[in-house]
Amino acid sequence: MPLNLKVYQAFDRELIAEVPADDAAALDHKLSVAAKAFADRDAWLPAHQRMAILRKASELLEENRDRFAMMIAREGGKPLTDAVIEVTRAIDGLVNAADELRNFGGKEIPMGLTAASTNRWAFTTKEPMGVVAAISAFNHPLNLVIHQIAPAIAVGCPVIIKPAATTPVSCVEIAKLLWQAGLDERWCQTFVTEDNALAEAFATDHRVAFLSFIGSAKVGWYLKSKLSPGTRCALEHGGAAPVIVDRSANLDVIVGAIVKGGYYHAGQVCVSAQRLFVHEDILTAFTDTLAAKVGTLRVGDPTLKETEVGPLILPRETERVASWIKEAVDAGARQLGGGRMSETTLLPSVLLDPPEDARVSRLEVFGPLTCVYRYSELDEAIRIANALPYAFQASIFSSDMAVALRAAKRLDASAVLVNDHTAFRTDWMPFAGRRQSGYGVGGIPWTMEEMADDKMIVFNHVS
């Protein structure tokens, strides 16, 4: 008999919920239900029904905004103010998916360009690809789920969503809202488990047409290598986002943005500003200003409105981040701020000049830490910024247009933010990791394209 998955409050490890977990039999049943729903083409939902369901779900989520925000703060540890923003984005994301259907279609393919193609009319249509298996992450337990299930519903793919084992409640509850909005459960099911072998069986099942994975690169690339023949995928991993601060940058203006980009959700963001390359002419002034600003951040219980930095998702993560910081300090880095508030919560800190081979310089920290490195030549900073085997979003802060454009052209990133932090994102823009940071393109309209197949129809109109 399936057991319940216990869900703990991230901040104080209090038990807050027990969610029924799925076993192998439940997984097989859910995959069978989804596959049968897709196979019955006469029962596919027309676009106007999909739009209406997504819009109704958006309205229901707006009515439940405060409940979902508190849920996110409790199970995920995201400060309540930021959790409210996450719910607001999710509300808009559902509308975004519905609106995109107004322009989601095929195109005419020119015929008559050769003698052999005369008397023909060709065009493409969009069709849902098939069953979507979605594996989500803990750090945005509602909005990441929306980015995976809303495009699937909009396109017409049956979707089964597996939330992170630490944060399943938001996922289960948004599925219920979609059902309440009129979506038959066959078209959106949840799959709750903390069994990695079962999760692998889910992702690699032959009935899955598309895998949407958000999580670690190690797991994502492994699953891609095991996919059933014909299964397509999108992988969203992380990185160690670089930020270049040119000597022309106005420190009074930019530091607040960098702090937001580096310490938002305690740094547990795949594009968190981690490696700050600062021109030597302003290094001292920048470091002092940054450390002072970081020192004012209010750390504590994420359910309180005044909290700006909450806990890490698990106590073992605080141990990991603390050990990485210690390693860098022991190797010569200078730590500004920091320390431990509790077993779950680290005080934000800054490391000045950690060695290039330290883990904080080579790997994604996913904690409340930024690292500051001095540079004298822009191209050298760009070279080091590009040296890691992953690349996602990057930033350049400069009042000099020539410097900004040079960095924008040469930074290896899918997006370069000029005078903004690396964690900036809207839900309709393309969002993609390069190299080990990901595969495919995220963002609601872009994911809809990835989950759909083009079908060409050619008429030979011989009279």
Q: Check if the beta carbon of residue 9 is closer than 8 Å to that of residue 74.
A: yes
Domains of the chain, residue spans:
4-237+437-460, 241-418
Average pLDDT over residues 332-356: 96
Average pLDDT over residues 76-92: 97
Q: What is the dihedral of CA 283, 413, 434, 131, to 10 degrees?
A: 120
Three-state secondary structure of the chain: CCCEEEEECCCCCCEEEEEECCCHHHHHHHHHHHHHHHHCHHHCCCHHHHHHHHHHHHHHHHHCHHHHHHHHHHHHCCCHHHHHHHHHHHHHHHHHHHHHHHHCCCCEECCCCCHHHCCEEEEEEEEECCEEEEECCCCCCCHHHHHHHHHHHHHCCCEEEECCCCCCHHHHHHHHHHHHCCCCHHHEEECCCCCHHHHHHHHHCCCEEEEEEECCHHHHHHHHHHCCCCCEEEEECCCCEEEEECCCCCHHHHHHHHHHHHHHHHHCCCCCEEEEEEEHHHHHHHHHHHHHHHHCCCECCCCCCCCCECCCCCHHHHHHHHHHHHHHHHCCCEEEECCECCCCCECCEEEECCCCCCHHHHCCCCCCEEEEEEECCHHHHHHHHCCCCEECEEEEECCCHHHHHHHHHHCCCCEEEECCCCCCCCCCCCECCEECCEECCECHHHHHHHCEEEEEEEEECCC
Mean pLDDT for the chain overall: 96
Residues of the chain with pLDDT > 90: what percent? 97
Query: In 3D, which of 286, 288, 368 has the Cα closest to residue 324?
Result: 368
Q: What is the pLDDT of residue 272?
A: 93
Class of domain 241-418: alpha beta
Q: Check if the beta carbon of residue 193 is closer than 8 Å to that of residue 22.
A: yes
Alpha carbon of 159 to those of 118, 203, 220, 236, 330: distances in Å? 42, 12, 18, 18, 48
Average pLDDT over residues 223-248: 95
The predicted-structure confidence for 402-414, as pLDDT tens digits, reads as follows 999 999 999 999 9
The predicted-structure confidence for 289-314, as pLDDT tens digits, reads as follows 999 999 999 999 999 999 999 999 99
335: its two tokens = 């730590």
Q: Check if the beta carbon of residue 187 is closer than 8 Å to that of residue 159.
A: yes
Average pLDDT over residues 323-340: 96
pLDDT bin (cut points 50, 70, 90) of residue 1 is very low
- Residue numbers annotated as active site: 236, 270
The predicted-structure confidence for 252-282, as pLDDT tens digits, reads as follows 999 999 999 999 999 999 999 999 999 999 9
pTM score of the predicted model: 0.93
Q: Check if the beta carbon of residue 161 is closer than 8 Å to that of residue 136.
A: yes
15: its two tokens = 């038990």
pLDDT bin (cut points 50, 70, 90) of residue 123 is very high
Alpha-carbon gap, residue 213 to 437, rounded angstroms: 12
Q: What is the pLDDT of residue 2?
A: 55
Alpha-carbon gap, residue 435 to 425, rounded angstroms: 20
The predicted-structure confidence for 52-68, as pLDDT tens digits, reads as follows 999 999 999 999 999 99
β-bridge mates for residue 210, sequence order: 132, 232
Instruction: Look at residue 462 and tell me whether its pLDDT is greater than 80.
Output: no
Average pLDDT over residues 200-213: 97
pLDDT bin (cut points 50, 70, 90) of residue 146 is very high
Q: What is the pLDDT of residue 276?
A: 98
Alpha-carbon gap, residue 345 to 342, rounded angstroms: 5
Report which residue type is found at 261.
G
**CATH number for the domain formed by residue range(s) 4-237+437-460:** 3.40.605.10
Instruction: Look at residue 69 and tell me whether its pLDDT is greater than 70.
Output: yes
Q: Check if the beta carbon of residue 206 is closer than 8 Å to that of residue 180.
A: no
Average pLDDT over residues 371-387: 97
Instruction: Look at residue 359 and tell me whether its pLDDT is greater than 80.
Output: yes
pLDDT bin (cut points 50, 70, 90) of residue 463 is low
pLDDT bin (cut points 50, 70, 90) of residue 461 is confident
Number of neighbours of residue 125 by Cβ within 10 angstroms: 13
